[in-house]
Structure 1
Amino acid sequence: MKIQNKMPEADEQLHLNLVNNDWIPMKEPKSVWAATVLSIPFMLLNAIISISILNVFSTITLSEFGLSSDSISITINLDVIIWIFSLIILHELLHLTFIPNFIKSQKTFIGLTPFGGYVLTEEEILKSRYIVVTIAPFVLISIILPIVLSLIGILTPTIKILILLNAMASSVDILNVVLLLTQVPRKTILTNNGTKTYWKKTT
């Protein structure tokens, strides 16, 4: 595992080697901005799912988010910044945890960029595991965590907001899963060359 402050860039020679060895590039957004725009519908869907779960196991009101029918009150202090920064780290660590042998891997990268945190691996991973790696933060933080915290009675307004922020921030992850499910057949392995994803049938 390597820690760095920028995402690995695609290597053209590696691209040629992969293609020559029957790896097929996925059709993906060309940039982070393009992926973000395309993921907006999933941002809304994730928020609806998260709010629905919160409503089942707890109450969630506009006032908890600093909103009311006649005013908006948003307070940003050091505590809020620390909570959000911690959420970003937790989100990325959950991605990382599900990558096989990530500690020993020299092809797995984690870091922070101006766009937020990222985890990326160029190891070969089964399609099923790749999906788990991708959706783990959304499922664990925005679906399972609110259920567990509500059962033990510590689902505070701050935690509810963080759960909702995580759901919305997971929109690109869900977009990636949709692209994978619609392009990659069963019984395949995947790998990355920088941010480019490739797949290949298993033997």
Structure 2
Amino acid sequence: MDTIKFTTKIPKFNEQTHIELLNDDWKQLKEPKSLTNAMLLSMPFMVINALISMGIIYFFSTFSLKKFSFISGDSFVITIDLGVFVAMVLVIVIHEFFHLIFIPNFLKSGDTVIGLTFYGAFVHTEQTVTKDRFLLITIAPFLFLSVFFPLFLSILGILTGKMLVFIILNSLGASLDILGFFLVLVQIPRNAVVRNNGTRTYWKMRKQ
């Protein structure tokens, strides 16, 4: 029986799979050719994501940034201590969990892997899914952890400095996700299915 797999390597592009997909009318998404290019293109989304989360907190919360240990007068100071390190690890784990749970039947999917590399953790699937499901998988960590979560905490008045660290770190870390989200949103028609081959993305129209 197929089950989800664990790996310490980034999924590789398979040339034979690429040829088979093209022969089966799949089209390749236009996306950055390397991780470095993707990270550079995603940098504006770091700022946008953080501003969205901070905006939600500003408008719906009584939490004051002046009470936050990162703010000293007019300066923004970050001290890396054990608490910040733990927060970063938790962000990575919970962020990837929210990708994972929206993959269909992920526990029994032999096409889905959970990875841990020098660059961090990741979730990768080569399942064929609808465009809407692909977009949900991609945006879920940002949507739930950096939009809904701060909104919920703000409305209840229980937002803390440590929670703010978690929320902002997740917003920054979701920049590549949001880049991928918009690439798929803009280039792929609504009634299409999507799948990955390593780091490359493909789509074709869904059979009626």
TM-score (norm 2): 0.92
Q: Which residue, 68, 90, 104 being the options, matches 1:100? A: 104
Q: Which moved more, 1:104-113 or 1:62-71?
A: 62-71
Q: Distance in 2 between matches of 1:65 and 1:136?
A: 29
1:74 is matched with 78
Q: Which moved more, 1:56-65 or 1:146-155?
A: 56-65
Q: Confirm or deny: 8 A CA contact 1:142 1:163 kept in the other structure.
A: yes
1:171 equivalenced with 2:204 (yes/no): no
Unaligned runs of 5+ in 1: none
1:46 is matched with 49
Change beyond 3 A, Cα 1:54–1:72: closer
Unaligned runs of 5+ in 2: none
1:121 is matched with 125
Deviating runs (4+, > 6 A) in structure 1?
none
Deviation at 1:5, TM superposition (A): 1.5
Deviation at 1:183, TM superposition (A): 1.0
Deviations 1:16-36 (A, max 9, x none): 011110110101111111111
Q: Confirm or deny: 8 A CA contact 2:38 2:176 kept in the other structure.
A: yes
Q: Which residue, 16, 23, 28 being the options, matches 1:25? A: 28
TM-score (norm 1): 0.94
Deviation at 1:153, TM superposition (A): 3.5
**Number of residue-to-residue matches in the alignment:** 203
Q: Distance in 2 between matches of 1:126 and 1:88?
A: 26
Q: Distance in 2 between matches of 1:120 and 1:168?
A: 20
Root-mean-square deviation (CA), in Å? Answer: 1.5
Q: Confirm or deny: 8 A CA contact 1:54 1:60 kept in the other structure.
A: no
Deviation at 1:54, TM superposition (A): 0.8
Percent identical across equivalent pairs? Answer: 45
1:191 is matched with 195
The one-letter code of the counterpart of 2:51 is I
